Structure 1
Amino acid sequence: MKIKEILSVLEVMAPLGYAEDFDNVGLLVGDDNNEAIGVLVCHDALENVIDEAVAKKCNLVVCFHPILFSGLKKITGKNYVERAVLKAIKNDISIYAVHTALDNHQDGVNKIFCDALGLQNTKVLIPKTNFIQKLVTFTIPENAAQVRNALFEAGAGNIGNYENCSFTSPGKGTYIGNEHSNPQVGAQFDFVESNEVKIEVTFEKHLQSKILKTLFANHIYEEVAYELYDLLNAHQNIGLGMVGELKEAMNEQDFMMMVKDKMQSNGIRHSSFLGKEIKKVAVLGGSGSYAIKNAINCGADAFLTADLKYHQFYEAENQLILADIGHFESERYTKNYIVEYLRKKILNFAIILSEENTNPVKYL
């Protein structure tokens, strides 16, 4: 099995098109044409993790955080990033990162977070924008079903909890073919007026090339008329953070102790208790201070995230409890999820969960 075959499975789990623009996801180090001999899944692809991969005979390391985030001008081993990359290259080990591609997935980091806390009725906290496109095309009635069904198969027509969504309307199409044309209906230099149907479907932006390839392959016309639009609609099932509800409301102290236990946190920094029960909870794994207002606006009683600064705790404005449970802690079950996913999809192949604790934050 080649490494690229495993990467194709990972890209179904966490499509790279879901990642934020600032991020660096996908294959960061190595040749995906190499034969895979073992996969090690970790949180951070540090030097000790590469050592673990060597010891366990794994030549693909799948990490959550990208070890390469900003550009490197030198690779001399002078810092922890360069040392990890050098060791991976020397040992012919590939490194693949998922990060915000999995953050934004409806079953990804924040759903894992919610599940660990037993939250129900979950939905995305900050739906992703500038991510939906619309295709409009025109064809004869006899070709419409083939085009529409092929586009559905390619991933178009999914809206929320519904699939195979489209709109079709009848109309008249006209054209005159020149001396180089080969019209399906009519002849060269004829003015043709034919019954046509207009087909409209939406799709996720990263699928654009696949959608267009499918359109051209299934359309009957020599020249395919089509239009593409960027939509302002937010994608309700893709985005950062999540909000859900506890099965039963809890008092603030009991809630915090439950969070500390479930997320195995060594300490939680939080804003003042408000003397009310906690029922609706917003979460955002990793650094989530930018989502405080979103959590307030959705009516959450508490917002769990990480990397909050001193003054940001004031932003709770006595409307909810802000809690910093730790960056690593908020994402701690992600690598377990990746391992379980790969083991279900790739049978009889070594998928190993890293035993290295890469959390850089220690507590007294």
Structure 2
Amino acid sequence: MQLHTITPILEALAPLAYAEDFDNVGLLVGNPQQEISGILVCHDALETVVDEAIQKKCNLIVCFHPILFSGLKKITGKTYVERVVMKAIKHDIAIYAVHTALDNHPEGVNKMICNQLGLKKTKILVPKEKFIRKLVTFTIPENHQQLRNALFEAGAGNIGNYEDCSFNSKGIGTYMGNEHSNPEIGERFEFVESEEIKIEVTFEKHLEAKILKALFTNHVYEEVAYEIYELQNQHQNIGLGMIGELENEMPERDFLQLVKEKMKCENIRHSAFMNKPIKKVAVLGGAGSFAIQQAKKMGADAFLTADLKYHQFYEAENQLLLVDIGHYESERYTKNYIVDFLIKKIPNFAIILSEQNTNPVKYF
């Protein structure tokens, strides 16, 4: 398989549009036209992982964290990042990263944590903002059903648990074509008043090109009138973190023991015990201190995340239990999820789970 036939599958796993603006996801190293003989899936694309890929005859590495996060001004092999890029290029190994594109996915990193802890009634903790757009267009009654269905088929009209959502209203449209026009109704230089249907649909911003293609392909007008707006609405099914409920409430110490067993943690840092049971739990894989206040706002009894600083533990303020299980530990099941996804999508192809433990934090 050529690389360019695999990247759409990876984008279905973790749509690039879901990624945070600061992130660097997608194809980082490699030629889209190169033939791929095998895929090695890892957490971090370190030099040892590249060596493993060479040994196992895999020339595509799919990693969670991007090895290239900011620009490189020199590639001399001085840093671990430069050495990875040099070795990958030398051996024609492509590198593709998913990171926050999978963090924000409703079935991604945080859903994995929820599944491990047995959380029910889960929903997004920090919904993604400025991700929903609205298309407004106008057409004749004879065309509106075909056009509207085409927009639905392209992905418009999905709101939460509902699909094919739109708002339609009748009105009178006017126009007069010049000497270069070819109007569907009326003649050139004729002032036309025509009954029209106004169609309004929302869509996720990464679908805009597909939505516009459906609009222009299925519209009968020579000149298509349309407007696109960026909405302030938060996307309730895409975003960072999740919050859910344990099947049964439990004491704080029992909850920490559950976390330690299910997330395979050697150590857990936590805020002071409040001596109240844990039922509602918020989670956010990776560095999640920015969501402490949101976890409180949503009534969480505990917030499981990573990379909390000393003074951030004070922010618990006896309102919830802050639980820091470590960055790698909070994301440890990600590579397994990627492997399972790819095996289903590309059966009979070499997809290998890396054996390298790339956690840079060691415990004594």
| Structure 1 counterpart SS, 2:184 | coil
Q: Aligned residue for 2:234? A: 234
Q: Aligned residue for 1:26? A: 26
Aligned: 1:344 with 2:344: yes
Task: State how far apart, in whole Å, the 2-side matches of 1:261 and 1:122 are.
Answer: 21
What is the identity percentage for the equivalent residue pairs of Structure 1 and Structure 2? 73
Q: Aligned residue for 1:246? A: 246
Q: Which runs of 5 or more structure 1 residues have no equivalent in the other structure?
A: none
Task: State how far apart, in whole Å, the 2-side matches of 1:148 and 1:110 are.
Answer: 35
| Structure 1 counterpart SS, 2:149 | helix
Deviation at 1:296, TM superposition (A): 0.6
User: C-alpha offsets along residues 143-188 of structure 1, whole Å, 9 cap, x if unaligned?
Assistant: 1111111111111111001111111111111110100001111111
Deviation at 1:100, TM superposition (A): 0.4
Q: Aligned residue for 2:149? A: 149
Q: Aligned residue for 2:162? A: 162
Q: Aligned residue for 1:91? A: 91
Q: Aligned residue for 1:43? A: 43
Deviation at 1:223, TM superposition (A): 0.3
Deviation at 1:319, TM superposition (A): 0.3
Deviation at 1:12, TM superposition (A): 1.0
Return the TM-score normalized by structure 2: 0.99
What is the letter of the counterpart of residue 172 of structure 2? K
Task: State how far apart, in whole Å, the 1-side matches of 2:346 and 2:164 are.
Answer: 29
Deviation at 1:2, TM superposition (A): 1.1
Task: State how far apart, in whole Å, the 2-side matches of 1:348 and 1:154 are.
Answer: 31
| Structure 1 counterpart SS, 2:245 | strand
Runs of 4+ residues deviating >3 angstroms? none
Deviation at 1:32, TM superposition (A): 1.2
Task: State how far apart, in whole Å, the 1-side matches of 2:152 and 2:88 are.
Answer: 41
Trace 1:144-223 onto structure 2 (pairs within 5 A): 144-223=144-223
Deviation at 1:59, TM superposition (A): 0.9
| Structure 1 counterpart SS, 2:249 | strand
Task: State how far apart, in whole Å, the 1-side matches of 2:39 and 2:157 are.
Answer: 35
| Structure 2 counterpart SS, 1:95 | strand
Q: Aligned residue for 2:355? A: 355
Deviation at 1:289, TM superposition (A): 0.4
| Structure 1 counterpart SS, 2:133 | strand
Q: Aligned residue for 1:259? A: 259
Task: State how far apart, in whole Å, the 1-side matches of 2:175 and 2:316 are.
Answer: 62
Q: Aligned residue for 2:329? A: 329
What is the letter of the counterpart of residue 35 of structure 1? E
| Structure 2 counterpart SS, 1:182 | coil
Task: State how far apart, in whole Å, the 2-side matches of 1:71 and 1:16 are.
Answer: 19
Deviation at 1:39, TM superposition (A): 0.6
Q: Aligned residue for 1:139? A: 139
Task: State how far apart, in whole Å, the 2-side matches of 1:266 and 1:99 are.
Answer: 24
Q: Aligned residue for 2:285? A: 285
Q: Aligned residue for 1:81? A: 81
Task: State how far apart, in whole Å, the 2-side matches of 1:144 and 1:219 are.
Answer: 8
What is the letter of the counterpart of residue 205 of structure 1? K
Q: Aligned residue for 1:269? A: 269
Task: State how far apart, in whole Å, the 2-side matches of 1:296 and 1:75 are.
Answer: 45
What is the letter of the counterpart of residue 33 of structure 2? N
| Structure 2 counterpart SS, 1:328 | helix
Task: State how far apart, in whole Å, the 1-side matches of 2:37 and 2:197 are.
Answer: 52
Task: State how far apart, in whole Å, the 2-side matches of 1:120 and 1:275 are.
Answer: 23
| Structure 2 counterpart SS, 1:239 | strand
Task: State how far apart, in whole Å, the 2-side matches of 1:4 and 1:116 are.
Answer: 34
| Structure 2 counterpart SS, 1:240 | strand
User: C-alpha offsets along residues 279-333 of structure 1, whole Å, 9 cap, x if unaligned?
Assistant: 0000000000000000111100000000000000000000000011000000000
Task: State how far apart, in whole Å, the 2-side matches of 1:114 and 1:177 are.
Answer: 59
Q: Aligned residue for 1:15? A: 15
Task: State how far apart, in whole Å, the 1-side matches of 2:144 and 2:53 are.
Answer: 52
Deviation at 1:35, TM superposition (A): 1.3
Deviation at 1:133, TM superposition (A): 0.4
Deviation at 1:10, TM superposition (A): 0.9
Task: State how far apart, in whole Å, the 2-side matches of 1:92 and 1:33 are.
Answer: 12
Deviation at 1:347, TM superposition (A): 1.3
Deviation at 1:209, TM superposition (A): 1.5
What is the letter of the counterpart of residue 197 of structure 2? V
| Structure 2 counterpart SS, 1:344 | helix
